[in-house]
Chain A
Amino acid sequence: MSPRPLSFILAAALVASVVAAGFGAAESRAADDATPVGLPAFAGVQDLEVEALVDHRQGVMRAVSGHMAASAAILLDGAPFEDRISVHGAALAGLLADVPSLFPEGSAHDESDARPEIWEDSGTFSERAQDTEQRAAAFGEATQGGNAMEMTQAFISLGDSCGACHDSFRF
């Protein structure tokens, strides 16, 4: 067998790679069809936006729970950081100032625990969210004053509102 010219080999390699790429794309599209919100291989711009929204709100929620855990340690278990409780109070009031904005229409996602009821029953959702906003603001204010009893009550009341919302709107 005579050796093939180099140009023939290069052309064949090009054809092969185009075919392979086409096949790969078709395959990934098929996979996307099967799970419309499943990502990551060839995510469209919109998918990336949703991902970013989900990353952001999950980050905010983790921050909220971190401040809640720290506040509990101070207020309920006597960790000696009373002088810093107002930091947590202000952070919670700020992070929870507008909960519905964290859940824009169309931000449901496979990786998210948000229930569709958030958008289907947005009336109840905003009611609960408002409840949380007000209680977070009240806790923030209480931590400025430094009265232990008031702070603890405001803290527990805020926690109740977290659970009430998760009960109906989180998987």
Chain B
Amino acid sequence: MAVGRGRGRVVLFLVLALLGSVLLLAYGWERSVAADAGPNPSPPAAVGDTLVDAAELRGDPGSEDPVVRGAYLARAGNCIACHTEEEGDELFLAGGKPVETPFGTFYGTNITPDPENGIGEWSEEDFVRAMREGRAPDGSHYYPSFPYTAFSGMSDADLSDLFAFLRAVPAISRENVPHDIPWYAGFRGGVGFWKMLNFEEWRFEPDPDRDEEWNRGAYLARAVAHCSECHSPRTRSGGIDESFRYAGTAEGPDGETMPNITPHDTGIGDWSERHFVRYLEFGMDPDGDFAGGSMADVIREGTGFLLDEDRVAIARYIYSLDPIEHEFD
């Protein structure tokens, strides 16, 4: 019986594998780039004025220069942590950092203005469609490891500024590393199905019953910083489990435990907003401990660069969430 079932499983596997490869061949494997593509920084492409100090640029939401406003959004949206493999300026935003998920290992892509490997050929419309609809310029779907589920809510003006910044960083011709995912996930039609289940285009609308600070925090946390993408458990189909949004998960990206960040005792209810702001600023928790792991990257490359008033606004929003009891190991 057991032997028979084992053989049946092997046959089923072979049939599925065959079917899968036929489908893949028919569908066309879009990203057939060399797996061992090494870093290969090139001289900056001639796209307007290239920012030499892009990796150090702090950004400022009040600047008159869209590039400087965009740099701030890149920090707030934490683009750097996923799209830069290593610290330092040489490979800034040239992609390659792996993110392990239960659905495979995804690599941040090159988003410098390199025409071949980056987004140098993109129009602003292409960029807006990527951010808002999760679609590549050729119309194919992006995997939701790229959190367009959140970015979809960004304002037109902010998307335009962010694009201006990405046009201004030095172009680096580093080839993208193909995602390392099981064959059944390697077929982008499936992502379309995923989107039907789990994605809806949206736009952030301020809540008229709340003040400006709260709304600023809500916008930053939800549409830009996309906190809940990591700090929520996922359903079997890979969508966020709505009843536990922000309530953490033991099975976050890279196998890390993502803490409950709702103001419940099992979350960050025993932190004050001041502690929370400090944590986003330089990573110290109320016990005087300093986080490692992916949140350290988020702080070092992202929230640490923000204006204090924006960290305070994010804290306002997070502390206004419904406290959810969710404890896990």
Give the B-binding residues of A (Cβ under 8 A). Answer: 64-70, 72, 76-77, 156, 159-160, 162-170
* A72 with B292: CB separation less than 8 A: no
B282 an interface residue at 8 Å Cβ cutoff?
yes
Q: CA–CA, A77 to B278, complex, Å?
A: 10
Across the interface, which residues of B come within 8 angstroms of A162, CB to CB?
Answer: 289-290
A66, A159, A167: the one contacting B293 at CB < 8 Å is: A167
B42 → chain A, closest Cβ, in Å?
29
Q: State whether A166 and B284 are in contact (beta carbons under 8 Å apart), knowing that A72-B278, A77-B274 are contacts in the complex.
A: no
Across the interface, which residues of A come within 8 angstroms of B297, CB to CB?
Answer: 167
**Please, which residue of chain A has its CB at the minimum distance from the CB of B289?**
A65
Q: State whether A65 and B292 are in contact (beta carbons under 8 Å apart), knowing that A72-B278, A77-B274, A159-B282 are contacts in the complex.
A: no
Q: CA–CA, A170 to B290, complex, Å?
A: 11
Which of B287, B288, B291, B299: most chain A CB closer than 10 A? B288
A127 → chain B, closest Cβ, in Å?
14
B300 an interface residue at 8 Å Cβ cutoff?
yes
**Please, which residue of chain B has its CB at the minimum distance from the CB of A157?**
B282
Across the interface, which residues of A come within 8 angstroms of B287, CB to CB?
Answer: 65-66, 69
Count residues of B near A (Cβ-Cβ below 8 Å).
17
**Please, which residue of chain A has its CB at the minimum distance from the CB of B256?**
A171
* B288 with A156: CB separation less than 8 A: no
**Please, which residue of chain B has its CB at the minimum distance from the CB of A160?**
B282
A64, A159, A166: the one contacting B292 at CB < 8 Å is: A166
Give the A-binding residues of B (Cβ under 8 A). Answer: 274, 278, 282-284, 286-293, 296-297, 299-300
Across the interface, which residues of A come within 8 angstroms of B286, CB to CB?
Answer: 69
Give the dominant DSSP class at A's interface. Answer: helix
Across the interface, which residues of B come within 8 angstroms of A67, CB to CB?
Answer: 288
A131 → chain B, closest Cβ, in Å?
13
* A159 with B296: CB separation less than 8 A: no
In the complex, 16 of the A-B residue pairs with CB atoms within 8 angstroms, ordered by the A residue number, are A65-B287, A65-B289, A68-B289, A68-B290, A69-B288, A72-B278, A156-B282, A159-B290, A162-B290, A163-B290, A164-B296, A165-B292, A166-B296, A167-B296, A169-B292, A170-B292
* A167 with B292: CB separation less than 8 A: yes
A111 → chain B, closest Cβ, in Å?
15
Across the interface, which residues of A come within 8 angstroms of B278, CB to CB?
Answer: 72, 76
**Please, which residue of chain A has its CB at the minimum distance from the CB of B293?**
A167
B306 → chain A, closest Cβ, in Å?
15
Across the interface, which residues of A come within 8 angstroms of B291, CB to CB?
Answer: 163, 166
* A163 with B300: CB separation less than 8 A: yes
Given contacts A65-B287, A67-B288, A159-B284, 14 further A-B contacts (CB under 8 A): A68-B290, A69-B287, A69-B288, A156-B282, A160-B300, A163-B290, A163-B296, A163-B300, A164-B296, A166-B290, A166-B292, A166-B293, A167-B296, A170-B292
**Please, which residue of chain B has its CB at the minimum distance from the CB of A166?**
B292
Q: CA–CA, A67 to B289, complex, Å?
A: 10
* A68 with B296: CB separation less than 8 A: no
* A72 with B290: CB separation less than 8 A: no
List the 5 closest pairs (A to B, CB-CB), nearest first: A69-B288, A166-B292, A65-B288, A68-B288, A162-B290
Q: CA–CA, A165 to B282, complex, Å?
A: 14
**Please, which residue of chain B has its CB at the minimum distance from the CB of A69?**
B288
B50 → chain A, closest Cβ, in Å?
29
Q: CA–CA, A162 to B296, complex, Å?
A: 10
* B288 with A163: CB separation less than 8 A: no
Across the interface, which residues of A come within 8 angstroms of B296, CB to CB?
Answer: 163-164, 166-167
